[in-house]
Structures are given as C-alpha cells and as structure tokens.
Amino acid sequence: MKKLEQIYEGKAKKVFRTDDPEQFIVEYKDDATAFNGLKKGTILGKGAINNRMTNLLMQMLEKKGVPTHFVEELSDRETVVKKVTIVPLEVIIRNVSAGHFAERYGVEEGITFDEPTIEFSYKNDDLGDPLINAYHARALKLATREEIDTIVDLAFKVNEALKEFFLTVGIKLVDFKLEFGRTTDGTIILADEISPDTCRLWDKDTNEKLDKDRFRRDLGNVEGAYQEVMRRLMGEQA
C-alpha cells in the first residue's frame, strides 16, 4: 500500500491518503493535549502504545460483533483503516463517577453506578465540545435517529466487552470516549482510538490512575502509566 499526501492532523494523529480510495493510513503522535488544547505536552512513546493498544482492542471488539475501521497494523505507529466520515458526536460511557461528571454534579469520584451512563458532546473545538442530547443532534443534522440508536447500542456493547477485558488484567474501566464514522455506503462503524488518552483506567485494587489524568492533573509518571497498561494487555509483546 502506498502512503500519499497528508489530509488531516489532529491533536494525537495524522491521517494520510493511500492508493486505495477506501483506505487511509493513520499515524499516531506523542503529542499530548488536555482541557481542549489549552494544556500541551509530550508523552514519550504514547503514539506507539496508543496505536498498538487500539488495534488489539478493535480486533477483540470485531470478534464480539462490533464493526470497526481497523484493517491492518503497519508499524508501531501506523495503521491502515477504512475510510470513514466521522459523525461529529463524542460518545462518553461512564461506569464510575469521575472527571467532569463528578465536577458537574457535585459528587465524589469513585462511585460505581448501578448501570452505565451515556452522554454525547458535539465534536467542535471552537465551541468547547458542549454536551448535547439526541434531539439536539438530530436538529443539527449531525446524525439520524437510526444512526443514533445504532451508536448507542454499539457503545454499550463496546463497554461490556472492554470492562470484561480490562478486568482480566486488573484494570477498572471508569469511563471512556468513543467516536463513530460512516463508511462510503453509510454503515456506522467504530473509529478513532481506544487508549489511555480516551479511557479512564484505574488499577482494580488500588485505584491508581493509569491514564491521561496523570498528565491532566500533573500526577507524574505519565509514561510509566501508559507502559503499565500496555504491559498488562500485551504481556511479553509490550
């Protein structure tokens, strides 16, 4: 496969066209941002960890019946993915109170919910990714009713699979963000990434934070936390 011109660069990834019009190459970066880009830094090795972890988890989810954009891992930092148009909704699933949820509703972090919650934010940096509901999303023509129903069903399915998978390596899946895309024929599939950038991951026994909160909150040992998650998930291959 031939890598052609770059068509997009975001906070954590670059996307390149290829000689196959239905496939892109994604390249993961070590750049780190928080608070909608207000805090910037570098987490050494993050790009490789996020790429390999995303690919591992996407392949696991495919086996569980969740369609994803994953095609093939090319290297530590590069992966071939299906061409999609991203639905401009960030989908947040929460199993435990933390972060914005705890702040917004004045509750302490660490409360396990009786059932997972779901919320959407409008994927728009200029507006600060505001919270949005399904009615607003339809009014803004971000997605149809059917697409939103599909996204919700898939998001909860992803949650159950990831929760179970992470628990096997002693990690609690607190909350996480997903993005979905439309393929050329309009099918909704899971896209973007699943990594310590997009998930809150706590050690099951100690509640030690093993994710991007270490960067957001200046907790130190950010690289070590990412490497620890990778080591637990991939063992000797990490």
- pLDDT tens for 169-223 read 999 999 999 999 999 999 999 999 999 999 999 999 999 999 999 988 888 888 9
Task: Report yes or no on 51 lying in a domain.
Answer: yes
Most distant CA atoms of the chain, gap in Å: 51
Residue 237 has pLDDT above 70, yes or no: no
* Tens digits of residue pLDDT in 72-91: 999 999 999 999 999 999 99
Q: How far is it, in rounded angstroms, from Cα 86 to Cα 7?
A: 14
| Percentage of the chain lying above the pLDDT 90 cut | 85
Question: Are 8 and 181 contacting, i.e. CB atoms less than 8 angstroms apart?
Answer: no
Count: domains in the chain? 2
Closest to 119 (Cα-Cα) out of 178, 191, 57: 178
Domain carrying residue 137? 87-222
Residue 11 has pLDDT above 90, yes or no: no
- CATH code at 136? 3.30.470.20
In the chain, where does DSSP find H-type helix? 46-63, 99-105, 134-139, 145-167, 213-216, 222-234
Residues 116 and 190 in one domain: yes
> How would residue 35 be classed by pLDDT, with cut points 50, 70 and 90?
confident
Question: Are 145 and 137 contacting, i.e. CB atoms less than 8 angstroms apart?
Answer: no
- At residue 199, φ and ψ (nearest 5 deg) are -125, 145
Question: Are 95 and 163 contacting, i.e. CB atoms less than 8 angstroms apart?
Answer: yes
Residues 46 and 131 in one domain: no
The contacts of residue 204 (CB under 8 Å, 6+ apart) are 167, 170, 171, 172
* pLDDT (mean) for 96-100: 96
Residue 148 has pLDDT above 60, yes or no: yes
How many CB atoms are located within 10 Å of the residue 216 CB?
16
